[in-house]
Amino acid sequence: MSSAFYPGVLPPTGPAQPALWFLFRGSKLLVGNDGQQATIPLLLTPADAGLAPVRWQYLGRLETTGATTECFSAELNEETAPPPGMEFANLRALYPRLPEALFHLAGRAVQIVDWDRNHQFCSRCGAPTRDQIGERSKACPACGLVSYPRLSPAIIVRVERNDAAGRRILLARAQRFPTTMFSVLAGFVEPGETLEECVQREVHEEVGILVGNIRYFGSQPWPFPNSLMIAFVADYQAGEIVIDPAEIAEAGWFAADALPNTPMPPSIANRLIVSWRDGTVATAEQRL
């Protein structure tokens, strides 16, 4: 079933209709639980499930074939117990249990809830802030500072190598990974740095090699906690792998028929690796 999401700030007027409510206790999302698939509560208001939000936000509308559903997010108290048949789940654990469109909406929602929670007071003078009408921002009535939701841009890059040893891809296992999962390299963009410069710096810092012929691949919002992943493909140019032990546990060149354990969909890391393995392009434009 195809779907499209249209962001909004002002909630709709008129008779109330059941809406999707992305309800968070901390960073955990309330979902229906049947043991396999997760569902987002469809409610007129959270009170229908016995819940009293601390704050709520309108997200926009989700249009699917033949239906339009409004979407809201809300923050719950840390003491809130899940209603019968529901649970609070970490977003990462919901990867395989939510449809991709709803997973991305949940990622949008958790960032807006977190921003709203953290900007109740002005970061410059400490005065209480006020929601702006017609846009997602908060203004300080005392000093005039306006705060918007912020994103932290990060690059993620597939490094390819084609030489006498064959066609290979660079994969690494980060120190933070709890399992033996390998992935492509990634890192945050620094102030004053272009995306291409960040690709070159991160690869050199983490594994000691030089890359070139950098090409854009696609992008993906990544709500852990508030990143935008901008994906690239680059070619190996020179150097031998020398890992940064503070970041990388191990790294190596892998052939398409000998890949290790890698990230699951719908992550853009998965698309980078799978499209290389299968020889497909899988650009952002093709996924729209």
Task: For residue range 15-48, list pLDDT tens digits in order.
Answer: 889 999 999 999 999 999 877 789 999 999 999 9
Residue 278 in tokens: 């299968």
pLDDT at position 122 is 97
Fold for domain 3-118? Nucleoside Triphosphate Pyrophosphohydrolase (3.90.79)
Residue 211 phi/psi, 5-degree rounding, is -130, 160
Q: What dihedral do alpha carbons 56, 60, 62, 66 form, nearest 10°?
A: 110
Residue 146 in tokens: 């306006």
User: Which H helix or E strand runs over 242?
Assistant: none
pLDDT at position 33 is 84
Measured CA to CA, the distance from residue 262 to residue 190 in angstroms comes to 27
Q: State the average pLDDT over residues 218-233.
A: 93
pLDDT at position 92 is 87
Candidates 38, 51, 135; CA nearest to 89 is 38
Residue 143 in tokens: 């000093």
Which CATH superfamily is 152-287 part of?
Nucleoside Triphosphate Pyrophosphohydrolase (3.90.79.10)
Same fold across 3-118 and 152-287: yes
The Cβ of residue 102 has, within 10 Å, a number of other Cβ atoms equal to 22
Tens digits of per-residue pLDDT, 81-112? 999 999 999 998 898 899 889 999 999 999 99
158 and 169 Cβ atoms separated by less than 8 Å? yes
* Residue type, position 149, single letter: P
Tens digits of per-residue pLDDT, 235-273? 999 999 999 999 999 999 999 999 999 998 888 999 999
- Provide the residue ranges of all domains of the chain, joining segments of one domain with +: 3-118, 122-149, 152-287
